[in-house]
Chains A and B, each alone.
Chain A
């Protein structure tokens, strides 16, 4: 059953196979925990939020649109749940990012080796990412860490596709500047 796709597991669960639900949860617990931890720093609280995410997933499994990507759908639930939690605790700072903002990106090529060597240390990269605005950081991590494409990131974040692409370019440029220091 471990080789089953997400959609097959969803279908199996709806058909009455409880083990399929367990597999889905096991498959995504770590990545969803890592994703939620980007919003919620406390591990215990993050675990509670992750639990809420999977409960919401379970409640809506029967109405899940089979034409959609299950992973994207689950990440959307995780993001909304994390944001709801932060709103309740009034911890959310809304940083306005103008979608009309035009940014001339001169250089979209990969980072030079010197910078990569510096960035080779995960901790340094982590510190550099912390200096980025949260949405920039989120898009970079979704793209490079979670392997989403831009269209999927657009669905998860709720931002238009072109905005996601331009934010990605801006974020990489900012990251490059930070790592050069």
Chain B
């Protein structure tokens, strides 16, 4: 009975179009965030791609200088010997590895892949949504 009483109570209705206005406002914010993220990760992508060749060259030179490339050639020339002493082979290989160059190279690869992901994610929102929302 108490709830019946309250059914008669009229409450204010939202103005016409409020829901749509809210959705558009959020869409505009999404586009703004996407633009900032797109610009940031496009910069990271461009820089990473530009650094790829120098870092790879540095890695290759360090691999050659450290003798790590010899381990690869041993795999093809003396495979049975490598399998017989695989533990020592792996340990020696790791000891000779130019760690800093490897880390730098892996970092560049990671930066390229991550920025590609976000650029791809945001490109539609930045160019298509901006156009449809007339921002």
Contacts and interface: CB of A to CB of B under 8 A. Distances in A.
A55 B21 CA distance: 12
Interface of A is mostly: helix
Nearest to B10: A122
A95 to B, nearest CB: 22
Contacts of B19: 22, 25-26, 29
B45 to A, nearest CB: 22
Contacts of A25: 19, 22-23, 26
A111 interface: yes
B21 A51 contact: yes
A33 interface: yes
Say what secondary structure dominates the interface of chain B: helix
Interface string B7-35: 01111111100110111011101000000
Interface string A15-47: 000100110011001101110010000010011
Classify chain A: how many residues form its interface, as a range: 20 to 34
B8 A122 contact: yes
A116 to B, nearest CB: 6
A29 B8 CA distance: 21
A94 interface: no
A33 B21 contact: no
A65 interface: no
Contacts of A119: 5, 8
A144 interface: yes
Given A21-B23, A33-B18, A46 B12 contact: yes
Contact of A50 (B6, B10, B22): B22
A106 interface: no
A121 interface: yes
A172 B5 CA distance: 12
A54 B12 contact: no
A8 interface: no
A125 interface: yes
Given A22-B23, A54-B26, A125-B9, A144 B14 contact: no
A120 B8 contact: yes
Interface of B: 1-6, 8-15, 18-19, 21-23, 25-27, 29
Given A29-B22, A111-B2, A116-B1, 5 more contacts: A25-B19, A25-B23, A33-B14, A55-B26, A125-B5
25 contacts: A21-B26, A29-B14, A30-B14, A33-B15, A34-B11, A37-B12, A43-B12, A43-B15, A47-B15, A50-B18, A50-B22, A51-B18, A55-B25, A58-B26, A111-B1, A119-B5, A122-B8, A122-B10, A125-B8, A126-B9, A129-B9, A141-B6, A144-B3, A145-B6, A145-B11
Interface of A: 18, 21-22, 25-26, 29-30, 32-34, 37, 43, 46-47, 50-51, 54-55, 58, 110-111, 116, 119-122, 125-126, 129, 140-141, 144-145, 172
